[in-house]
């Protein structure tokens, strides 16, 4: 199926994961054989099956959600707000950002960082994401300028939804 034929959340998520596994498995998914084993893939499908309005309204004052759940809430929430092409870009960004965080923060032999910890430190890792992760991998074939824009949006969303206390500041 082509991208223009995909209409629902699960079809698009499958499309993006298939594409990323086909093109970047050795760089991104060395510890996972297929998308069905990928923790974030499973979290996205599960969170989508929940009622997003309930997720969005459920304030978690103790911030007990793990980063995977928070990131999935962002993806699920903006599915209805974007067109198909931008949603694919948004999902690729979140997957890449998550993989970067896990590569920087997960200790050998432990669960992935994003499964255990929240997203409070996510904005603090944006520089490493751009300079060490994205640039060293030819930006994984996505537009670098758009990545800067979505980082700002994502970090503001994290802050606005009380998933982080850090505010992202761009320096010129």
**pLDDT digit string (tens) for 37-59?**
999 999 999 998 886 555 555 55
Determine the Cα–Cα distance for residues 101 and 105; give it in Å rounded to an integer: 6
pLDDT reported for residue 167:
84
Look at residue 8 and tell me whether its pLDDT is greater than 80: yes
pLDDT reported for residue 61:
56
| Contact between residue 17 and residue 39 where contact means Cβ atoms under 8 Å apart | no
Q: Read off the pLDDT of residues 101-139 as tens digits, 9 standing for 90 and up.
A: 999 999 988 899 999 999 999 999 999 999 999 999 999
Give the tokens for residue 8: 């629902």
| Contact between residue 66 and residue 114 where contact means Cβ atoms under 8 Å apart | yes
Query: Other CB atoms closer than 10 Å to residue 89's CB: what's the count?
Result: 16
pLDDT reported for residue 60:
56
């Amino acid at each position: 199926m082509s991208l223009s034929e995909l209409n629902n959340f699960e079809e698009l998520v499958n499309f993006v994961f298939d594409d990323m596994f086909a093109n970047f498995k050795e760089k991104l998914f060395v510890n996972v054989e297929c998308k069905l084993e990928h923790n974030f893939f499973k979290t996205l499908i599960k969170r989508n099956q929940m009622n997003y309005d309930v997720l969005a309204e459920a304030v978690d004052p103790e911030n007990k959600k793990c980063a995977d759940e928070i990131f999935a809430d962002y993806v699920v929430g903006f599915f209805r707000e974007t067109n198909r092409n931008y949603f694919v870009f948004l999902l690729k960004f979140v997957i890449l950002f998550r993989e970067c965080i896990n590569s920087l923060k997960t200790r050998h032999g432990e669960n992935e960082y994003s499964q255990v910890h929240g997203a409070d430190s996510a904005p603090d890792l944006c520089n490493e994401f751009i300079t060490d992760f994205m640039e060293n991998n030819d930006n994984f074939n996505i537009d670098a300028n758009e990545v800067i824009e979505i980082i700002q949006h994502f970090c503001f969303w994290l802050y606005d939804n009380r998933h982080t206390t850090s505010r992202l500041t761009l320096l010129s």
